[in-house]
Amino acid sequence: MVLVLGASTMLFVGIVAEFVVLRGASEQWPPPGSPPLPQGFLFSTAVLLLSSLTLAVAHLCIRRDRTQAFVRFLSLTSLLGVVFLGSQILCWTQLMREGFLPRTNVYGGNLYLITWTHAAHVVAALVILLTVNARALRGAYSLRSHLGVEIASMFWHFLDAVWVCMYLLLLS
């Protein structure tokens, strides 16, 4: 997981650097005709932050040997991950209906690059979370054995932090 996080960090740093360079080279950012960010991105951010909280509570529950509460909070985290992705899809749909596509301008290309790259990582993390969730429902984790939860938590919290940084970048 450390290697995955390292590689993902390098990818996202590269995307941020590219965004900053292009923004700095532009006379006006976002370019004229670009719509404001959909409000759904703010909702997505809140959902993702809440999912980090529910995952932290789930993690705490398993370390206190409260397995039923652990499963409930882990399931809630997975559900919030799906809600996040659904919200992102609604935002992209709104932008596309307004005629704002990745090819519209450099800003549009970057907005979609940032959000789609992050979403792809969230899909991967959600697969991991759902796998951990399925194993948790079968009683696979306990106070003494919960490495899968640790690994899933690392990736999920990393992606939450990345999203907050990316969202703030898009707002600036």
Is 89 within 8 Å of 116 (Cβ atoms)?
Answer: no
Which residue from 148, 147, 129 is spatially nearest to 48, judged by alpha carbons? 129
Residue 146 has pLDDT above 90, yes or no: no
My answer on whether omega of the bond before 30 falls inside 30° of 0, hence cis, is yes
What pLDDT is stored for residue 142 in this prediction?
Answer: 76
Q: Are 23 and 169 within 8 A, CB to CB?
A: no
| Residue 141 CB neighbour total at 10 angstroms | 20
pLDDT at residue 149 is higher than 80: yes
- pLDDT (tens digit per residue) in 64-96: 999 999 999 999 999 999 999 999 999 999 999
The per-residue pLDDT for 145 is 81
pLDDT number for residue 33: 86
3-state secondary structure of 10: helix
- Mean pLDDT for the chain overall: 94
DSSP string, 104-127: T-HHHHHHHHHHHHHHHHHHHHHH
Q: Which CATH fold would you assign to the domain 2-171?
A: Four Helix Bundle (Hemerythrin (Met), subunit A) (1.20.120)
The whole-number average pLDDT for the span 44-65 is 95
Please state the rounded mean pLDDT for residues 128-154. Answer: 88
pTM of structure: 0.92
Give CB contacts under 8 A, 24+ apart, made by 105-113.
105/30, 105/31, 105/33, 105/34, 106/22, 106/26, 106/31, 107/26, 107/29, 107/30, 107/31, 107/34, 108/34, 110/15, 110/18, 110/19, 110/22, 111/37, 111/170, 113/15
Q: Do the Cβ atoms of 166 and 118 come closer than 8 Å?
A: yes
Q: Where are the domains of the chain?
A: 2-171
Split at pLDDT 50, 70, 90, the class of 141 is confident
Q: What is the pLDDT of residues 1-12, one digit of tens each?
A: 889 999 999 999
